[in-house]
Amino acid sequence: MSRAFLPSVLTANDLFEGDVVYLTASGHWSRAHGDALLFQDAAAAGEALAAAQAQPARLVGPYLAPAQSGPQGPRPVHFREGFRARGPSNYRYGKQAQGMCRP
């Protein structure tokens, strides 16, 4: 028996930069989790995932990550995704240094 679909964001790693990226409603990739499109429909999410998987020259390991609606856009529901959204654990680099992470 398959699991019920949970609202999710599409995430991957940028092949050249190595950063975590999220698919936005406009079809672009953003480094901010709050900019991500929150998929509510399993079929639409599956189509977007297939399209991302067809971009191996740009993306590494695309997958759907459960998320929930928040006041500033989607929020991660799992610890791992929260950690990925905040960026490197060293505060002097990446998203944390640029002020892109939200608690």
Segment 33-62, tens digit of pLDDT: 999 999 999 999 999 999 999 999 999 999
> Is there a domain that residue 1 lies in?
no
> Is there a domain that residue 29 lies in?
yes
Q: What is the mean pLDDT of the chain?
A: 88
Domain containing 31 equals 8-98
The mean per-residue pLDDT over the stretch 69-92 comes to: 83
pLDDT above 50: residue 103: no
> Is there a domain that residue 2 lies in?
no
pLDDT value of residue 69? 94
Among residues 78, 61, 65, 64, the alpha carbon closest in space to that of 18 is found at 61
> Is there a domain that residue 65 lies in?
yes
The mean per-residue pLDDT over the stretch 8-37 comes to: 95
Q: How many domains does the chain have?
A: 1
End-to-end CA distance of the chain: 35
**pTM assigned to the model:** 0.83
Q: What are φ and ψ of residue 73, in 5° steps?
A: 105, -175
> Is there a domain that residue 3 lies in?
no
Q: Could you tell me which residue, 2 or 7, shows the higher pLDDT?
A: 7
